[in-house]
Structure 1
Amino acid sequence: MSARNQEKSHGPLAGIKVLELGTLIAGPFCARMFGEFGAEVIKVETPDGGDPLRHWRVLKDGTSLWWRLQSRNKKSLTLNMKSKEAQEIARRLALDADIIIENYRPGVLEKWGLGYEDLKLINPATIMVRLSGYGQSGPLKDFPGFGAVGESMGGLRYVSGHPDRPPVRVGISIGDSVAALHGVIGAMMALRHRDVTGGRWNKKEGAELIAGQGQMVDVALYESVFNLMESLVPEFDFAGVVRERTGGALPGIVPSNTYTCQDGENIVIAGNGDAIFRRLMLAIQRVDLAEDPELQRNDGRVPRTAEIDAAIQAWCSSMLIDQALTILREADVPVSKIYSVRDMMADPQFQARDMFEQHHFSDGAPVKFPAISPKLSKTPGVTHWMGPELGAHSEEILISLGYTCLEIDELRKRKVI
């Protein structure tokens, strides 16, 4: 299914085993990054349809393109977690995993005997990343909390949009994705702590047990968003300032805004550095503003934001976007067109950085994926295969746990897998 063979990974996380117990975005995106850099990721799905993401947005042969990307390099195991036998299989996988990633509501894993406290009694090196709307404690912990809720409660929605209109959402599931990245960071710190306190648990009979200290990584979606909110809290606590919606502008940092060019294209100009401001004003032929002593520092420019923005907009209105980009880049002013995906895929910078990978579906149809980030010079991430078919690795995984082909057939007949 991929331009690359399903080869054994030799990335920086080779030898790390990850068990993914979750659906949709936050947990699976967290696990995806481990798989991209060499970890073995086993994704548990329900036999009756699998992860709902398989059927979201644009489909190819009944399966989501988003799924194919989100689950690249993962192995799919189907388990009916309502079954005690399936719970036992999951427990065996969890005890053998370096990292367990889950995004069920708090308490669900405990009902199945798979909670962190249950597992660490047997394997003290257990690392469990728990992603949820509100975290594992507090009065809201049992309520559902999707990314939209995290973005709202965490403060992002309040400051997004124009001041005279209701708040807007970012065009992607940013709350889930930010939580996923916090999960990755937390898991890597937990791995480091485990390794310096003893290392991996050795469960072999008769072997000396020298296990490092595992821990739970508790990631709340709203807290992950809240973590991005810059100086929001001290500004309010100390000065009583509530940051409000400001459209395309960056409040209190001038000039930084979105402007419209003669051809209707939108351009972002960030001329808020003191030296940059002067270069910007000279580039748009406003020598008077460049030399105005009141505008030499940001705190002097803020009270005159409207005047400065009007001058920049007047200049942009006289320019086609390509002209504006050329002039401002030559003046060393941070500037960009607002890119659509069409712009990205045609852009020389994206191409020079190899930001697209070519893959193929099983019928040979080509499809491009975004390349893996971040870029490591010695051990870069690799896409070995696209998101697999439902249960594609069930037999392989169960055999690795000691099940026979006959036992696996029986599990299928009883709809355990």
Structure 2
Amino acid sequence: MITSGSGALAGLRVIELGQLIAGPFCGQLLGDMGADVIKVEPPGAGDPMRKWGQGAEKVQWEVIARNKRSVTCNLRVPEGQELVRRLIMTADVVVENFKPGTLEKWGLSPDDLLDAKPSLIVVRMSGYGQDGPYSQRAGFGGIGEAMGGWRYIVGDPDRPPARMGISIGDTLCATYGTMGVLAALHHRGRTGEGQVIDAALYEAVLQVMEGLVPEYDHNGYIRERSGSILPGIAPSNVYACKDGPFMIGANKDGIFVRLAEAMGQPELAKDPRYMTHLARGEHQAELDERINAWTSTLTMDEVEQAMVDHSIPAGRVYTAKDMVADPHFRVREAIVEVETQSRGPIRMQNAFPRLSKTPSGIRRPAPAVPGQDNFEVYGSILGIGEEELTRLEAQGVV
């Protein structure tokens, strides 16, 4: 499904200089909202994301590069740097996630760019930020997750820290970078001024750590790995059914009363061990055992129906296979089919969030090859003729 809507950011031009996940995911979010995203890839193999993903064919690129045009440019040579500088001067936003100092080394310092175009917005994503004692260290999303507090609290108590299963550090940083772009656009709309957005991977992770820091600062409490439970919040866990796992969240007093009724054990809600939020937290393990003893006698269908009948927050633990088959996902078009250029139709997550007046969407598939849009972009935007472009290509500039 390719939409024709323009999106809230229609008319905005973004130059994406980053590679792998953080910079490109920021570009994906902006492109989904309607921006014209021009992705700059190194000549040859292009962005390494073209070869990332699981399974026999690597298709993660089809998601992260949708709604983008691709040009190639060698940013390590002066002629390539000048070419990108000219392209940036036609844009509203620049996205990059190189090591701090790289743009400066290439003669593309944000300060110089802003001197030439004061309305420009530059979002810079890096491991540790643009300053500070760690700024020059190499940083990937997993390191940001570790330093930001995420890795330490993920996993079972008797195991080493675990990975979530996705590159959450990168995507959080990209999401906050996108938020910064939207805020900067609002400021520019009032003042005409652009600015630089400094988004660090570890700080993006830190932002979602809830009360982790003040709990230590005020109480001396350090959160530990707790597996599938949230300590002191009960019942809220994944329970075993005859045919698979099922998530139930009934930690609020009134909801727990309904859960006890659904279980055919209304007396549980009157038991002093379980009557209140604090009491259930103190007896969390034994309460989970009681609920698990009940769910294990039933199928997921039976538990799900009981939860619906008693208005209890609950749901199956989905895999991708479950998602693409689910009627709710289908009706809301949470997952859509996109006709890609090189791999045929592929289902993927739709643009999000939903806007009623200027809906986001997938307007074009990911570019099949690096530099697919060289002639279109360099020709129509910079006025470079075919002969000159052929020379640049022959010399390895594009």
TM-score under structure 2 length normalisation: 0.96
Match for residue 349 of structure 2 among 356, 359, 370 = 370
Structure 1 residues 230 and 360, CA, compared in 2 at 3 Å: closer, same or farther? same
Shift of 1:159: 0.8
Correspondent of 1:143 among 133, 137, 140: 137
Q: What's 1:78 paired with?
A: 72
The code of the aligned residue for 1:17 comes to: R
C-alpha displacement at 1:369, in angstroms? 2.2
- State the match for 1:224 in structure 2: 204
**Counterparts of 1:134 and 1:4 in 2: how far apart (Å)?**
37
Structure 1's unaligned 5+ residue stretches are 198-211
The structure 1 residue matched to 2:98, chosen from 83, 100, 104, is 104
2:120 is aligned to: 126
Amino acid across the alignment from 1:299:
L
Deviation at 1:390, TM superposition (A): 1.1
SS state at 1:64 partner: coil
Residue by residue over 1:343-369, the C-alpha shift from the partner in whole angstroms, topping out at 9 and shown as x without a partner, is 111111111111222222447832222
- Contact 2:16–2:23 under 8 Å retained in 1: yes
Give 1:288 shift.
Answer: 2.3
Tell me the equivalent position of 1:348: 327
Cα distance per residue 1:83-102 (max 9 Å; x no partner): 11110111112222111100
Answer yes or no: is 1:45 the counterpart of 2:26.
no
Which residue does the alignment assign to 1:159?
153
- Classify the secondary structure of the residue corresponding to 2:178: helix
Question: 2:29 — aligned with what?
Answer: 33
Report the alpha carbon displacement of residue 402 of structure 1 after superposing the two structures with TM. Answer: 2.0
- 1:77 counterpart letter in structure 2: V
Structure 1: distance between partners of 2:71 and 2:341:
20
Deviation by residue 1:63-119 (Cα, 9 ceiling, x = unmatched): 831112111110101001111111011111222211110000000000111121111
In the alignment, which residue of structure 2 is the partner of 1:402? 383
Distance, in Å, in 1 between the alignment partners of 2:290 and 2:2 is 52
CA RMSD of aligned residues (A): 1.7
Alignment partner for residue 249 of structure 1, among 229, 238, 241?
229
Q: Indicate if the aligned counterparts of 2:39 and 2:69 stay in contact, CA closer than 8 A.
A: yes
Q: Map Cα deviations across residues 129-180 of structure 1 (whole Å, 9 max, x no partner).
A: 1111111111111111111111111111111111011111111111111111
Which of 350, 360, 364 pairs up with 2:339? Answer: 360
Aligned pair in 2 of structure 1 residues 92, 367: CA closer, same or farther (>3 Å)? same
Which residue identity does 2:385 align to in structure 1? T
SS, match of residue 295 in structure 1: coil
- TM-aligned CA deviation for residue 252 of structure 1: 2.1
**SS, match of residue 280 in structure 1:** helix
8 Å contact 2:242–2:296 — kept in the other structure? yes
Q: Match for residue 176 of structure 2?
A: 182
Superposed counterparts of 1:204-243, under 5 Å? 212-243=192-223
- Cα separation, 2, equivalents of 1:320 and 1:59: 30
Distance 1:274 1:79 in 2: 60
Structure 1 counterpart of 2:249: 270
1:59 offset after TM fit, Å?
Answer: 7.7
SS for the counterpart of 1:269 is strand
Deviates more, 1:45-54 or 1:111-120: 111-120
SS of the residue 1:306 aligns to: helix
Partners of 1:313 and 1:249 in 2: CA distance: 13
For residue 323 of structure 1, what is the aligned residue in structure 2?
A: 302
Query: In 1, distance between residues paired with 2:329 and 2:155?
Result: 28
Give 2:77's aligned amino acid: S
The residue type equivalent to 1:39 in the other structure is A
Equivalent residue for 1:209? Answer: none
- Unmatched 5+ stretches in structure 2: none
1:337 and 2:327 are equivalent in the alignment: no
| Counterpart in the other structure of 1:93 | 87
Mapped partners of 1:144, 1:339: distance in 2 = 35
User: In structure 2, how many angstroms separate the alpha carbons of the residues matched to 1:17 and 1:49?
Assistant: 25
Distance 2:147 2:224 in 1: 15
Q: What secondary structure sits across from 2:16 in the alignment?
A: strand
CA 231–40 in structure 1, closer or farther in 2 if over 3 Å, else same? same
**SS of equivalent to 2:283:** helix
Say which of 343, 354, 358 aligns to 1:379: 358
Question: What letter is aligned with 1:249?
Answer: I
Q: Give SS of 2:138's match.
A: coil
Show CA shifts across 1:312-340 (max 9, x none): 11111111111111101211111111000
Counterpart AA for 2:174: A
C-alpha separation in 2, matches of 1:344 and 1:59:
18
2:13 alignment partner AA: K
Offset at residue 296 of structure 1 (A):
3.3
Would you say how many aligned residue pairs link Structure 1 and Structure 2? 396
1:369 is paired with a residue of what secondary structure?
strand
Counterpart-to-counterpart distance in 1, 2:230 and 2:11 = 44
Deviations 1:9-52 (A, max 9, x none): 62211110101011010100001111112111110000021000
Task: Give 1:324's aligned amino acid.
Answer: V
The reply to whether residue 283 of structure 1 matches residue 262 of structure 2 is: yes
Q: Secondary structure at the match of 2:199?
A: strand
